[in-house]
Structure 1
Amino acid sequence: MSVTITIKDLVKKYADTTVIPELSLEIKKGEFFTLLGPSGCGKTTLLRMIAGFNSIEGGTIRFNERVINEVEPGKRNIGMVFQSYAIFPHLTVKGNIAFGLENRKISKEEIASKVDDILKVVQIEQYKDRMPKNLSGGQQQRVALARAIVIRPDVLLMDEPLSNLDAKLRIDMRNAIKDIQREVGITTVYVTHDQEEAMAVSDRIAVMKSGIIQHLGTPQEIYQRPANVFVATFIGRTNIIEGTLTQEADQYRLQFNAGYSETMSNIRLPKPQASLNVKISVRPEEFIMTEDQTGMRATIVHSVFLGQNTHYFVDLESGQRIEITQESKTTQILEPGEIIYLKVKTDKINVYDAAGELNYTGSVQS
């Protein structure tokens, strides 16, 4: 059980429209891999191609060394968990989980043993005799997950499995799914548009846009050094500020259009340039509030208190509104109209070319 999935030059077309143009990707054996992106980016299309539900117009998909392009979905040995759960309303929990095993013509004793084992893994053994209508949404999702993995598939495919659950239950279930995946060690491909969900469960993430992978990496890599402005704005929250990068000996000076500058020691340009326009990505927590008036002057517009942190929305002198996050303290929250000065954590921010497509920033400093 569990395989490496190798995708090479994969193409998907609908009539004359190319949805996925020559996509290549390797998903490691036993990895929890997430396809992340906005609606229409091609993530579910790619998942359905792996499952065999969508045709392939070019390229190959391999499970280990086996090309599966023409293999029927039922013969790919995959488990599938859908957004709608798709459990049978007329069968008990135990009956739902046993369904796939019964189709494989194994003995009743073996079926009972496998069902009991998986009920313990997904922690719903106390509900085995209940009908689906008597289960909560989270319990139904566990039944769907148990049914998918009890057959010991080579690959587990999950398409927006938590989108029908409320916020708290989504957090509980994503933790449960990750724990279960680690326990069974199955290669898992997970589709979501929720970046927080992807960050919480994934070993690696592919951020997609228009059928193209924009950034492939660990959650930490993608958050700290997004490949381009699209990824920076899609993963977490960030502020994009216009600026200028000017060479000074072996370093560069980053000039914010708000009138503030910093020396940068981690800029990596394809070729030396005296000066160029850039886009600067600064996450809310990467601002430093200071009394030093050489920083960016800003005016408090309003604040949101969220316990440990307070989020401030402020206007720069340029007129741009940005968001900053500061640790909540015992002192009074700043009021609208108050003037503050801001600097940035130079080792954390990201600097891109003017088009926002190329990251000039080196690795995060420890």
Structure 2
Amino acid sequence: MKITRVRLFEVELPLVHSFQTSSHKKSSLTHILVELTDEHDSTGWGEVASPTHPYFTSETTDTAWLMATGYLVQSVLGVEWEHPGDVDGCWAKIRGHEFAKAGFAGAAWDLWAKANSQSLAAGLGGTRSVVRSGVSLGIEPTIDILLDQVDKQVSAGYGRVKLKIAPGWDVLPVQAVRQAYPALDLHVDANGAYGSDTSSMDRLAQLDAYGLTMIEQPFAPRDFPAHARLQERIATAVCLDEAVVQLDDLRTMIAMKAGRVLNIKVSRMAGLTVAKAAHDLAWNEGIPVWCGGMHEFGIGRAGNVALSSLPNFTLPSDVSGSDKYYARDVITPAITARDGAVDVPTGPGIGFAIDHAWIAHNQLRYFDSEVPADQSGRQ
């Protein structure tokens, strides 16, 4: 296969419900969509789901656009390849910028799966036809509002709820939700908001009393020792997210016993190739995984669903229906959840049609580059 054209679309979609984390609040999201075209004019789509601001990661939409237009496009144009893993080698010299790379890797996997007349899930080695889904709820102004949000999601059939926490918004909201829903699969995510001092450790240790499935990323991304100390102290599983960007980070987590669960985010780990390798390594080490989300549009969400069909994704993943986040998505039909579960698409590639009109309507920036006609290899 040869990529003969690359198009980039920066698109902003409003959120149905604003979302508050430990760092900031957002009411809309801006992501970059990647379209790769091969010599047969077939196309594959991927999504750069980087945040707009540098709070979750150092990458932003602007840095991803710069990296994509300045480096990644030229690294893949005109290159011959047989498997999506080969495309990752095109940017081997480029350090970091995992979110930007993930968009190109996703488009390559979609293109390759379509060329082989198989679903993305099948191409990745998926083994299940339905994926259990959970939802992630942000920090709300009051506990009553939070309980209303939890009730909506439980009523919609979701069996797992993740609560964002931060210093000052942790024990009391968790206690309230647990009292209201004694049997709910509940876990919390701090996005690295806590220090590793004794008082923070003591505060987080109080959460051990509420039967949580996990405490996700309480400390700074590189602070493996703090995570290891907390895991040794509490019965609740510590889950790492931002800390694991490369496979070597996962090996560090395993060696230091810094957690017992891994959140695999496709975007954080530079795409589906690395994410699948992380799944395989964790599986061999007996570490269960689940697929986290970045509020992806439908293109990235479809990739997450396909990845979540792999056998070691034994915990509910953040692959809830698109309607929880967007009134209209960039794919048709939209991804839907039924009783807290999402069907794994069986159509070629990501398994959905692209809503070109909606993309154009919400487009902020556009980029187009292709190899010269005499070098395209079109037949």
TM (normalized to structure 1)? 0.28
Higher helix proportion: 2
Larger Rg over CA atoms: 1
Higher strand proportion: 1
Higher relative contact order structure (alpha carbons within 8 Å, sequence separation ≥ 6): 2
TM (normalized to structure 2)? 0.28
